[in-house]
Structures are given as C-alpha cells and as structure tokens.
Amino acid sequence: MPGRANPHDGPADFLAEMPPPDSFCAGAELVWSVRASRHRRPSLLAPPCSATSIDTVQPIYLDFNTTTPLAPSVQESMQPYWAEHFLLPDQEHHGSRAIAEGLERAREGVAEMIGCDAFEIVFTDGGTEANNLAVLGLATDCPPGHMLISELEHDSVWNAARSLQRAGWDIEAVPCGSDGVVVAEEFTVRLRTNTRLACLQAANPVLGTLQPVREVAEACHAEGVLVHCDASQMFGKLPVDISRLRADTLSISGHKFYGPKGTGALYVRRGLVVRPIRFGESREMGVRPGTENVPGLVGLGTAAQLAARCAVEAADRLSELTDRFVFRLRDTIDPAVEVACETSPRLPNTVTLILPTAAHHLQRVASPLIVATAQSAAPADEMTRCLAAIGMAPPQIRGALRVSIGWTTSQEQIDRAADLIAEAWDQAMHHR
C-alpha cells in the first residue's frame, strides 16, 4: 500500500533496493546492503565489499548529519502521488480521498516515531520552517518578553528569534560548557518573570552532544515557560520519545533520516496555540497555509516508520563503527588524536576530530572523503559557531574535521577513511 513501509523489511532489506551508487548523492560511493533472509535478523550493513569497490578515486560519503540518501521504500511510497494520485486532498472528487488518506497515514507515521497523537503533527517544508513556526508562532500571542536560546542552536532558531528583537523581545544566549552540553542550571538561573520561551536542541550536529531537554523543560515548565526543541539530528540515530523530552514543540526534518528533502514537521503539544507565520488558504489545522507537498509528505511518513523501527539497531551499529574509526586513527596516527567532547553523551554516528593542521588541507589530500570542515569565510558557519561555543581557538577550529556516518556506511569505508586521513596527516606533517 502506498505510504507504508513493508513491516517485514529491516535496514538491510530497504538498503538492498537502493539505486546504484553512481546514480545519486552527487556521485558519492555508498555501499548497499544485500537483502537479508526473512529467516534471520537482518544486518544493518552489507557483507564485506571487494577491495576494488572502494579506492582512492571513489568518494566515501561520511557527512550524514548534513543529509542522507533517500531510502528505496520511501521513494517507492512516493511514486503513485506524482501522477496517479495527483489531486489535492480537499478537492470535491472521490479520487481525492486516496490523497487525503495517504497524508493521514504519513501523519500517523510521524506521530508514531515520536510517540504522540497524529493531530499534534503539523507538516512543514523542512526543519527550518518548523523552527521558524515554533519560535514566531508561539511569540505571536505573547506580549514582547524574554527568550532563552542555547548557543548551539541552528541559525533557523537564532535568526527567527533575532527578528523578534525589533518588536521589543529580549533574546539571551545560554552558554554551553567545554563538554558541549548546556546544563539545565544555565537556563534556570536566567529565567525571569517575563521569560516566554526557551529553545534547546536535542543533539548538536557538529559535536554530536546530547542535550538535557527534559531537565530544561521541567525547570522551565515550573515557571510557566514554554520549551521548543529542534530534534532534527536525532532521528534515524536514536529513539525519540516526546513523553521523555517533555518539549512543547519539536522540529523534524525529513532528509536527515532517509526521507525526501523539502519535508518536515512540527510537533505541537495538544492544547497549545501556534499561530501561522504565513498567510493564505487554511491548511494543516489552520497553522500552515499552502498546497501540501503530497508525494514528499507521504515519503516523510514512510521514512518515519523506518526510523522508528530501526533506531535501536542503527544506534548499536553506528556506535560500533564510530568506535572502530577512532581506534584505527589512534592506532595509525597518534594515541593522542583529539575527539571533541569525547566523554560527553553523544550521537552514535558523530566524531569531530581536532587535528594539528588545517582540516581543509587534509580534505584536499584525502579527496575521496566527503566530510565536514569549518568555513573560514565570514559569516561564521554552524561548525565554527559550535566549536567556538565550547572554547576552541581559531587554530583548533581550522583543524576540525567532522565525520558522521550512516546506515549505508560499511566497515571497509570506515577503515579506508581512517587510512586516508592518516596518509594526509603524514603529508601535512612532512611539509610543516
């Protein structure tokens, strides 16, 4: 049935249906799993690939915190809605019922992923709009007041908040420690009688650090303050349960967990009023106007079902590969290779290395690797901001290289990536 993931499929099963590596993700080399037997627990990864499948001319994609490939079952679920089911869900035609039902199944899939009711999910065009809608939509009904935002938040949260300063809002940054975690007390001591909203992400995409959303929410709720959580980086890596996080609103971005780009959602706690920030014909329970991206949202729902079902298995395997990567680097280069915020609770797929030479130079030498580095040009990018927030100096930031692995990353790719970085390191050290 369109819009539903096959309940028998595991991670290895849906990855087996992926298109050839050269047909997607800007040519990045990704290793696809072989379909697992229905009679055994599927493995998250493919069997070992041949020595020729990954070499110095084949890119190795290790930037999954930026974006992820589209899962085959997601693409398949979207297909009927491009042509066959092309009507709008609210048209007065019997054919529109299938479209409306597809959207509702998608809404139920997203709700199931975080453990809420379907009517608490508002579809958006991505995480940025969801963050904007939460910050601005909650502020609309309030007199100008005080807002707390962690230093680590995404630009879509910060820039939305800054736009409110012209209306008289006081926006205050909440610092994090050198461990990359914003402790609840940093919010508590800054609460005022006119504090309206606090914003704290669930996980940081640069450092991988997990934030104490529940503790902050409980402290803020005790003072009547609402809490928004950008949870975009959590899905597909760790289970997410809104009853544990206790946030009032929560942002979701489809392309971060093997769903389509241009799709997302905002969880809005029942009874909470979020005003629209765009205007037009009423959609999404009056919160968001405009024609629905039906194919994309159906895909989002399918991706949510996959993420909910595979999160525990994914977390275990991602953690195993991440540990292997760091161990191999230290064994090859230097036992003292620094990992940012290594002792903090972190996403199982994220490692940010702090190297003694410019990361962009290593990236040029190890050119098959697709990883993330800080941009030196102004304005500061997210990676630069987050590293500066934990107290890193410009030379350290220039030496930062983030590796974020995904469901399609193989052990062979991890080993090859570590070897390429070691080779680039050697070259850099010899030319100093």
Spell out the per-residue pLDDT of the chain, length 432, in tens: 444 444 444 455 444 444 333 233 332 223 333 222 223 333 333 333 333 344 446 899 999 999 999 999 999 999 999 988 877 777 777 777 788 888 999 999 999 999 999 999 999 999 999 999 999 999 988 899 999 999 999 999 999 999 999 899 999 999 999 999 999 999 999 999 999 999 999 999 999 999 999 999 999 999 999 999 999 999 999 999 999 999 999 999 999 999 999 999 999 999 999 998 888 787 888 888 888 899 999 999 999 999 999 999 999 999 999 999 999 999 988 888 899 999 999 999 999 999 887 777 777 778 888 999 888 666 788 999 999 999 999 999 998 999 999 999 999 999 999 999 988 888 777 666
Chain-centroid distance of CA 237 in Å reads 9
Query: Residue 256 has what pLDDT?
Result: 98
- Which distant-in-sequence residues (6+ apart) come within 8 Å of 217 by Cβ? 227, 229, 245, 246, 247, 248
Query: Residue 356 has what pLDDT?
Result: 81
- Domain of residue 247: give its range: 77-306
Query: Residue 92 has what pLDDT?
Result: 72
Domain membership flag for residue 284 = yes
Give me the number of domains the chain comprises.
1
CA atoms of 180 and 158, how far apart (whole Å): 18
- Report the CATH number that the domain containing residue 124 is assigned in CATH: 3.40.640.10
Q: Which conformational region is residue 180 in: left (phi greater than 0), alpha (psi within -120 to 50 degrees), or beta? A: left
Query: Residue 378 has what pLDDT?
Result: 66
Domain membership flag for residue 41 = no
Residue type, 149: I
Domain membership flag for residue 389 = no
Domain membership flag for residue 202 = yes
Domain membership flag for residue 33 = no
Query: Residue 57 has what pLDDT?
Result: 60
Single pTM value for the model? 0.86
Domain membership flag for residue 363 = no
Query: Residue 85 has what pLDDT?
Result: 80
Domain membership flag for residue 26 = no
Domain membership flag for residue 17 = no
